[in-house]
Amino acid sequence: MVNQVKQGIKDKLVSLYPTYHVYLEEDTPANLLKPALRIQCLKKTTQNQRENLMKNIQLGIVCLLEDADRDMIYWQISDQLDEAMTYVDLEGIRLRTGEKTSNITDGQLHYTFNLQLVTHEAVEAGPIMQRLDKHMEV
């Protein structure tokens, strides 16, 4: 499921930034071609709640540029991502993103956001309880 979400984000970024090289974390070459955007899963937690399976995913987009005034461009990209990443489409389902943060570290823009996926898992019915009759004599 996480890979499908990352692919959906990649498709959105390719349409938003057609001149950028967009990489998934598992497909990132040693020598990135810049300008580049790299999508990565930073954290994933799973929680069972009755028949629902809740997955909380923290995803990140790292932007790498070579421009001299890249900090100004990074903040512009961050603003664009705030608007573009309000939702992610996954197999006809629109997922709303949660908290978004941006920071510039080591000459790179690090943009992170959260998604929550809830899937309904069918639970097999257990054995039916039998009636217990207990008589006590006094």
For residue 57, give the DSSP letter: E
pLDDT in tens, 43-65: 999 888 777 888 899 999 999 99
Greatest alpha-carbon pair distance for the chain in Å reads: 94
CA dihedral 8→13→18→21, nearest 10 degrees, is -90
Helices (H), the chain: 2-16, 70-84
Per-residue pLDDT for 125 more than 60? no
Per-residue pLDDT for 122 more than 70? no
What domains lie within the chain, and their CATH numbers? Answer: 2-58+65-120 (3.30.2000)
Beta-bridge mates of residue 95: 88
Is 106 in contact with 74 (CB distance < 8 Å)?
no
Band (73; pLDDT cuts 50, 70, 90): very high
pLDDT in tens, 1-32: 788 899 999 999 999 999 999 999 888 888 88
Task: Report the C-alpha gap between 65 and 75 in whole angstroms.
Answer: 12
- Residue 119: other Cβ atoms inside 10 A: 10
